[in-house]
Amino acid sequence: TLPEWTRIKRFVNLHKEFDADEAELTRTRKLRRTFVEDRYGDLIAALYGEDKEYNVDAPITYRDGRRGVIKTAIKVNNVDEVTG
């Protein structure tokens, strides 16, 4: 088994997949870490805090070039609650 400090304790299911067309991934499908820090820094902080939900206002670009904003709430899940 893994040491306690390396185990996943909390997680989220994001509102969308990462996309190379939005500069979230490289063309070889590697995650751009600076993008994650910039866009999801507050969400990462919520994972380490006590928040049970995180509100997202995320800009998106549609395939036809239009731009929009996704507004949604993301539930912060605790592993012990999910696994029982």
Residue 82 resides in a domain: no
Residue of higher predicted confidence among 46 and 62: 46
How many residues belong to the chain?
84
Residue 84 resides in a domain: no
Structural domain count of the chain: 1
Residue 64 resides in a domain: yes
By residue range, what is the domain housing residue 48?
8-77
Half-sphere exposure of 33 (CA within 13 A, CB side): 0
pLDDT digits (tens, 9 = 90+) for 1-11: 889 889 999 99
Q: What percent of the chain has pLDDT over 90?
A: 57
- On the 0-12 / 13-18 / 19+ scale of CB atoms within 10 A, 10 is middle
Residue 41 resides in a domain: yes
Residue 83 resides in a domain: no
Q: Roughly how many angstroms between the first and final C-alpha of the chain, as a whole number? A: 18
Residue 13 resides in a domain: yes
Q: How far is it, in rounded angstroms, from Cα 64 to Cα 66?
A: 6
